[in-house]
């Protein structure tokens, strides 16, 4: 596979797909409360996608060596790092949950994004859980803020890694961000750790995700027997945030923004691009 550079029509297609993916999370946000199950969240998301005219990219998704993924989205709770499968267990006050939504538009463009939810509100969560969610959000934005033509993927990874580790957390290495377009996972791989000045150079028209998985304990992970769910080996908490980004001639545009997206951190200087 190789990197696809989007032309104006492709960029337009990605803007739509990504806004719709973000709007699924906006729709779910007020519903994600103590007592709801992740399977109910999954069902509500599936109905909303149908109303949008999109469909889930995850249901039935089957990379080689994996069983077909059974959910319309991923719900990764507490020590689950990623790819958590929706189930019938009610959410509890103090849980932290990542909801990861990828949609496909009728034109075939993919939009991919995820957010953390502190169940029962911030005050219901431990100080460590709150810090982990906030630092992971900022780590994603440290990576995003690097994006412009000429910068290399290693610069992005380095920015994320140094920020996460200087805050006492660790970066999961087995999963990464990815190019995205008319396929779910394209080149390049976007590592969330690395060395400055290394790896692929960014060019206008590239679209990729930045989606750091940050652990409160050690970085090691293990896969559960369902073939999908990834947990921290030491059972420490894990958090993740994800946006899909376009490289523009002068910097970047965050494509997965909508009315309900959390505010951009103060350290980000570029005015967010508007369509
Ligand atoms: N949305 C995830 C990502 O950010 C991938 C989920 S694949 C699934 O790349 F099959 F687990 F849903
Ligand atoms: Co992704
Ligand atoms: Co995703």
Residue 269 tokens read as 């200087």
- State the residue for tokens 């959410």: 91
Q: Report yes or no: 105 and 14 within 8 Å, Cβ to Cβ.
A: no
Please tell me the residue having the least CA distance from ligand 1 atom 8.
58
- pLDDT for the residue numbered 270: 75
pLDDT (mean) for 146-155 = 98
- pLDDT for the residue numbered 108: 98
- Domain range annotation of the chain: 8-254
Tell me the pLDDT tens digit for each residue of 85-140: 999 999 999 999 999 999 999 999 999 999 999 999 999 999 999 999 999 999 99
Averaged pLDDT score across all residues of the chain: 97
Q: Is 56 in the pocket of ligand 1 (CB under 6 A)?
A: no
pLDDT (mean) for 47-70 = 98
Protein residues within 5 Å, CB atom, of ion ligand 3: 100, 112, 242
Q: Which of 95, 100, 137, 86 is nearest to 119 (CA)?
A: 95
Ligand 1 atom closest to Cα of residue 228:
11
Residue 143 CA from chain centroid, whole number? 13
Does the pLDDT value for residue 71 go beyond 70? yes
pLDDT band at 274 (very low <50, low <70, confident <90, very high): low
Q: Return the CATH fold of 8-254.
A: Creatine Amidinohydrolase (3.90.230)
Check: pTM over 0.85? Answer yes or no.
yes
Does the pLDDT value for residue 275 go beyond 60? no
Ligand 1 atom closest to Cα of residue 57:
12
- pLDDT for the residue numbered 1: 74
């Amino acid at each position: 596979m190789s990197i696809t550079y989007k032309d104006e029509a492709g960029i337009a297609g990605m803007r739509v797909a990504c806004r719709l993916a973000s709007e699924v999370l906006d729709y779910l946000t007020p519903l994600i409360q103590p007592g709801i199950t992740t399977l109910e969240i999954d069902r509500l998301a599936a109905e909303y996608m149908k109303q949008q005219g999109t469909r889930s990219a995850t249901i039935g998704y089957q990379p080689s060596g994996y069983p077909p993924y059974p959910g319309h989205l991923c719900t990764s709770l507490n020590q689950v790092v990623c790819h958590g499968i929706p189930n019938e267990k009610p959410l509890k006050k103090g849980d932290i949950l990542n909801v990861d939504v990828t949609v496909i538009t009728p034109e075939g463009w993919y939009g991919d994004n995820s957010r953390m939810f502190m169940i029962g509100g911030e005050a219901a969560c431990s100080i460590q859980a709150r810090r982990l969610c906030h630092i992971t959000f900022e780590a994603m934005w440290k990576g995003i803020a690097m994006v412009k033509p000429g910068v290399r993927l290693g610069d992005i990874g380095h920015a994320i890694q140094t920020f996460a580790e200087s805050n006492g957390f660790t970066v999961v290495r087995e999963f990464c961000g990815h190019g995205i377009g008319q396929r779910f996972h394209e080149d390049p791989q976007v590592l969330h750790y690395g060395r400055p000045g290394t790896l692929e150079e960014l060019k206008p028209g590239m679209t990729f995700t930045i989606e750091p998985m940050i652990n409160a304990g050690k970085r090691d992970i293990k896969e559960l027997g369902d073939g999908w769910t990834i947990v921290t080996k030491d059972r420490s908490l894990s958090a993740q945030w994800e946006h899909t980004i376009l490289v523009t001639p002068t910097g970047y545009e965050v494509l997965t923004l909508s009315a309900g997206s959390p505010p951009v951190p103060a350290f980000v200087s570029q005015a967010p691009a508007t369509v």
